[in-house]
C-alpha cells in the first residue's frame, strides 16, 4: 500500500471515529433526561451498540442485498435484523436490571417502542448513506470511462493518421502493401467503432468483415492460404443482428491456430443465416508447431457473450482433436 492510500485510509478512519463520538455525545443528553439514574458508561455502551448495528446493516447486509432486486426480500431481511436488534437491546436492559441495583433501562412498552424507532432510524441512515455511496461510485465510474474514452480517441486519431500516412506513400510504390494497410485500417475502424456503440450489428456487416479478414490474411501470406468460405443469407436477413466481432473472432482463431498452407486440407467455413437461426461452422487442420496463442480464454469470452446475448437459445459445440478442430455454432433467433 503506497503512502497516498495509507493517508486516505487513515483519513477515513478518523472521519468515522469523529462521527461516532459526535453521535454518542448527541445521545447522552437524551439518556440523562429520561433515565438520570443510569450510569453514563451504560448509556455510552448502548449508543455504541447502535453504532455497531449501523455498521452491520451498512457494510454487512446492504452490500449482500445489492444482488437482490426484489423489494420484498430487502424488507424481510432488514425487518429480521431490526427484530434481532430489538431482542439484543431488551436483553441488555434485562441484564442491566439484574446486575445493577437501579435499572439500566426499565423494560416496558416505552423502551420497546424507543428501541424499534431507534433501529428503524439506524436502518434509514444506513440506506441513505449506502445509496449516496452507490450514486457517487456510479459517477466516478462514468468519469473514468469518459476519461478512458477521451484518451482512446486521442490514441485512435494518432493511429489512423499513422496508417493513412503509410497508405498514401505506399499506394504508388507498393500497391500490394498499401492494399493490406487499407484493409487493416478498415477492420480496425470497425472493431473500435463497435466497441463503444450498440453491441448488436447487422449480420451483413459481420459477413463483410469475415471476407475482409480472409483477404487480409491472404495478403499477409502472399495468397498461400487455402480456405473455402461460403455464406448463405436467406429471407429477411437484413433484419438479423449479431454481437459485433463475434464471428470475426472465431474465424481469427482458425488463422491463428490452423494449418492453412496445405491445399489438400482446406479450411472450411460455412455461414447460413435466416430469420430463424444463424449457423456458423469452421473446420481446419491443426498446426504441428505450437499455435500462436492459447484459444481457451478467447472461446470463454465468446461463450460469455453468447450467454448474455442469447441466454439458452444457442449451442456451441467444439471438437478439439489432435489433428483437427471443428466448431459449430447455432443461434436460435
Which domains does the chain show, CATH number per domain?
3-145 (no CATH), 200-332 (3.30.565.10)
Q: Which pLDDT band, with edges at 50, 70 and 90, does 197 fall under?
A: very low
Checking if the pLDDT of 68 tops 70, the result is no
- How many C-alpha atoms does 92 have within 13 Å on its Cβ side? 18
Rounded to an integer, the average pLDDT of 48-64 is 82
Kindly report the number of other CB atoms within 10 A of residue 150's CB atom.
Answer: 10
Which one is predicted more confidently, 74 or 320?
320
- What is the tens place of the pLDDT at every residue in 294-330? 555 578 888 888 988 898 899 999 998 888 899 999 9
Rounded to an integer, the average pLDDT of 39-56 is 77
Q: What distance separates the 2 farthest-apart alpha carbons in the chain?
A: 103
Residue in 120, 16, 13, 126 with CA at minimum distance from that of residue 61? 126
Residue 27: what are its φ and ψ, rounded to 5°? -75, -35
Checking if the pLDDT of 195 tops 60, the result is no
The C-alpha cell that represents 8 in the structure block: 486516505
Look-up of cell digits 499506394: 171
DSSP lists the bridge partners of residue 295 as none
The C-alpha cell that represents 307 in the structure block: 450467454
- What is the tens place of the pLDDT at every residue in 119-152? 888 888 888 888 888 888 888 877 676 555 545 5
Give the mean pLDDT of the chain. Answer: 78
By the 8 A CB rule, do 267 and 283 touch? yes
Q: Which pLDDT band, with edges at 50, 70 and 90, does 82 fall under?
A: confident
Which one is predicted more confidently, 73 or 47?
47
Residues shown for the chain: 333
- What is the tens place of the pLDDT at every residue in 210-243? 998 898 888 877 788 899 999 999 888 888 999 8
Separation of alpha carbons 204 and 196, rounded Å: 19
pLDDT for 240: 92
Amino acid at each position: 500500500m503506497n503512502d497516498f492510500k495509507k493517508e486516505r485510509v487513515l483519513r477515513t478512519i478518523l472521519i468515522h471515529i469523529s462521527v461516532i463520538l459526535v453521535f454518542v455525545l448527541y445521545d447522552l443528553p437524551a439518556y440523562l433526561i429520561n433515565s438520570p439514574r443510569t450510569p453514563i458508561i451504560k448509556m455510552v455502551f448502548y449508543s455504541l451498540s447502535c453504532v455497531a448495528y449501523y455498521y452491520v446493516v451498512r457494510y454487512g447486509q446492504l452490500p449482500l442485498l445489492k444482488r437482490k432486486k426484489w423489494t420484498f426480500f430487502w424488507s424481510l431481511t432488514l425487518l429480521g435484523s431490526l427484530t434481532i436488534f430489538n431482542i439484543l437491546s431488551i436483553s441488555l436492559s434485562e441484564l442491566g436490571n439484574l446486575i445493577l441495583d437501579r435499572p439500566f433501562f426499565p423494560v416496558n412498552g416505552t423502551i420497546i417502542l424507543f428501541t424499534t424507532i431507534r433501529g428503524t432510524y439506524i436502518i434509514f441512515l444506513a440506506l441513505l448513506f449506502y445509496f449516496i455511496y452507490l450514486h457517487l461510485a456510479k459517477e466516478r465510474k462514468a468519469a473514468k470511462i469518459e476519461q478512458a474514452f477521451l484518451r482512446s480517441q486521442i490514441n485512435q486519431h494518432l493511429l489512423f493518421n499513422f496508417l493513412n500516412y503509410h497508405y498514401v506513400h505506399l499506394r504508388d510504390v507498393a500497391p500490394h502493401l498499401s492494399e493490406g494497410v487499407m484493409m487493416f485500417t478498415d477492420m480496425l475502424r470497425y472493431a473500435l467503432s463497435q466497441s463503444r456503440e450498440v453491441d448488436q450489428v447487422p449480420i451483413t456487416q459481420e459477413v463483410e468483415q469475415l471476407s475482409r479478414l480472409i483477404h487480409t490474411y491472404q495478403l499477409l501470406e502472399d495468397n498461400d492460404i487455402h480456405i473455402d468460405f461460403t455464406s448463405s443469407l436467406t429471407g429477411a436477413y437484413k433484419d438479423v443482428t449479431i454481437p459485433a466481432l463475434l464471428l470475426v473472432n472465431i474465424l481469427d482463431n482458425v488463422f491463428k491456430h490452423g494449418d492453412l498452407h496445405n491445399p489438400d486440407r482446406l479450411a472450411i467455413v460455412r455461414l447460413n443465416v435466416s430469420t430463424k437461426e444463424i449457423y456458423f461452422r469452421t473446420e481446419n487442420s491443426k498446426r504441428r508447431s505450437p499455435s500462436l496463442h492459447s484459444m481457451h480464454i478467447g472461446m470463454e469470452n465468446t461463450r460469455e457473450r453468447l450467454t448474455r446475448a442469447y441466454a439458452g437459445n444457442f449451442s456451441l459445440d467444439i471438437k478439439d482433436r489432435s489433428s483437427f478442430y471443428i466448431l459449430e455454432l447455432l443461434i436460435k433467433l
